[in-house]
Amino acid sequence: MSPKQASCSVWLAEAQTEFKRVAEENVTLPCHHRLGLLEQGSLDIEWLLHTSESVQKAVITYSGGHVYDDLNEEQKGRVSFTSNFRAGDASLQIISLQSSDAGKYICKVKNAGQYEWAHITLKVVEKPSKPKCWLEGELSEGKDLSLQCRSSSGTAPISYRWQRINEEDEKAEHLPPTSRVNISNPGQVLLKNLTQMSTGLYQCMATNEAGQESCVVRVTVQHAQNIGMIAGAVCGVVVGLCLLFLVVRLTIRRKEKKRYEEEEAPNEIREDAEAPKAHLVKPSSSSSGSRSSRSGSSSTRSTANSASRSQRTLSTEATPHLTPPQYSQREMGGKETEPKKVDYANLMKMGATLVMVPAQSRAFQTV
């Protein structure tokens, strides 16, 4: 090994070989060499990243007078040489650190057949993400309540600590005496036998070596009496709504039934109604004149209507009444009289007109 290589080895032994940084911060990984004084055209500088035993990535290189800093897609635009790398300072700067930047970095400098290198380990730690706080249990006196807290990301280990916050001066206070911390899950605290003294603001702190984040949750313990009143009020409202719906429904059905009866009443035929009696109208000179006027001339509708009206307005004293057999009157002595047969042919000759009545009454009328 040449004296220069020996001196370089001594320098590497004295240099810092491990860095620990928080994500989103910047870091400079040192690499100094003495090969820039040799031939300028043959100077080569290369930074490599070993994320595992078998995976190696090129970070940035200088060769043939050009710098190549877009070799790694994950670090593209975030890596660069810090100063005059040709004069002896080939340190690497990485901005906006990410967890994927962690690993073992190797700086290799070559010129005129001579080599120098440096090995640096970079650790990137992430602060806990803002934790989520929530409650599990019943917020009423005498019950147990569980306070839960959890961060979704961050470098392990993450520790959790619950504390109570005084709302007046915003200072941290101890938890109630009845509280119990879950040893296997420090993010969980159990508040046993809740009282009104348990009401307040509680804060959870999530902490690791990179930093801490917190969240708060409010606990409001309700009186058992208040719970009963609320439940009763809710039940009363539900029952009232049901009754109102029932009344509206019955009213609508009653109106529909009434409207249906009014529409169907004119169409009903009473079976127990008395059948209309038949009347025999005696022909007269006016009726015959009317008939002759209708058959002969048929000049106007008004003449026919007046003749028909005069035919129907004859006095009942001059018109004999005919009673159908099924509606014959009984004699005064209690004996039934034989129904008289009506000669319909004679009636027709006399000018009578047959009128049919509904089938239910089983009767007919002559006019």
140 and 77 fall within a common domain: no
Higher per-residue pLDDT: 11 or 117: 117
Among residues 200, 219, 238, the one where a domain terminates is 219
Determine the residue type at 265. Answer: A
Residues 41 and 121 in one domain: yes
The C-alpha angle 324, 329, 331, rounded to 5 degrees, equals 145
Whole-angstrom distance, CA of residue 232 vs CA of residue 146:
27
In a domain, residue 212? The reply is yes
Higher-pLDDT residue of 226 and 366 is 226
Q: Report if residue 321 sits inside a domain.
A: no
**Number of domain units in the chain:** 2
Cα gap 83→93, rounded to integer Å:
10
**Phi, psi values for residue 61, rounded to 5°:** -140, 155
**Single residue among 173, 195, 219 that ends a domain in this structure:** 219
Does the predicted TM-score (pTM) go above 0.75?
no
Greater model confidence, 297 or 33? 33
Pairing status of strand 92-94 against strand 79-81: antiparallel
pLDDT at 3 over 50: no
Kindly tell me if the per-residue pLDDT of 80 is higher than 70.
yes
> Does residue 193 lie within any of the structural domains?
yes
Give the end of a domain, one of 219, 239, 264: 219
| Tokens encoding 111 | 């010129």
Q: What is the pLDDT of residues 216-256, one digit of tens each?
A: 999 999 986 655 566 677 888 888 888 888 888 888 888 88
Please answer whether residues 69 and 159 qualify as being in contact, where contact means their C-beta atoms are separated by less than 8 angstroms.
no
pLDDT score of 342: 54
- CA-wise closest residue to 197 among 164, 227, 169, 243: 164
Query: What proportion of the chain, given as a percentage, has pLDDT over 70?
Result: 64
Please tell me whether residues 138 and 196 are part of one structural domain: yes
Residues 36 and 92 grouped into a single domain:
yes
Dihedral pair phi/psi, residue 12, rounded to 5°: -65, -35
Do residues 152 and 132 touch, judged by C-beta distance below 8 A? yes
Burial-class residue 303 by CB neighbours within 10 Å (0-12, 13-18, 19+).
middle
CATH number for position 113 = 2.60.40.10
Is the predicted pLDDT of residue 25 greater than 90, yes or no? yes
Kindly state whether residues 24 and 118 are assigned to the same domain: yes
Q: What is the secondary structure of 285-299 as a DSSP string?
A: HHHHHHHHHHHHT--
pLDDT confidence of residue 230: 67
Look at 52-56, 108-112, 170-174 and tell me which has the smallest mean pLDDT.
52-56
Sequence-separated (6 or more) residues with CB below 8 Å from residue 214: 130, 131, 203, 204, 205, 206
Residues 74 and 96 in one domain: yes
Under a CB-based contact definition with an 8 Å cutoff, are residues 10 and 1 in contact? no
Q: Does the structure show a pLDDT above 90 at 120?
A: yes
Tell me, yes or no, whether 77 lies in a domain.
yes
Q: Is residue 64 part of a domain?
A: yes
Characterize the bridge pairing of strands 200-208 and 188-191. unpaired
pLDDT for residue 87: 85
Domain that includes residue 214, residue range: 132-219
Q: Which residue has the tokens 């928080």?
A: 22
Q: Is residue 261 part of a domain?
A: no
pLDDT tens digits, one per residue of 300-348: 444 444 444 444 443 343 344 444 444 444 444 444 445 555 565 666 6
Residues above pLDDT 90, as percent of the chain: 40
104 domain residue, yes or no: yes
Same domain, 182 and 211: yes
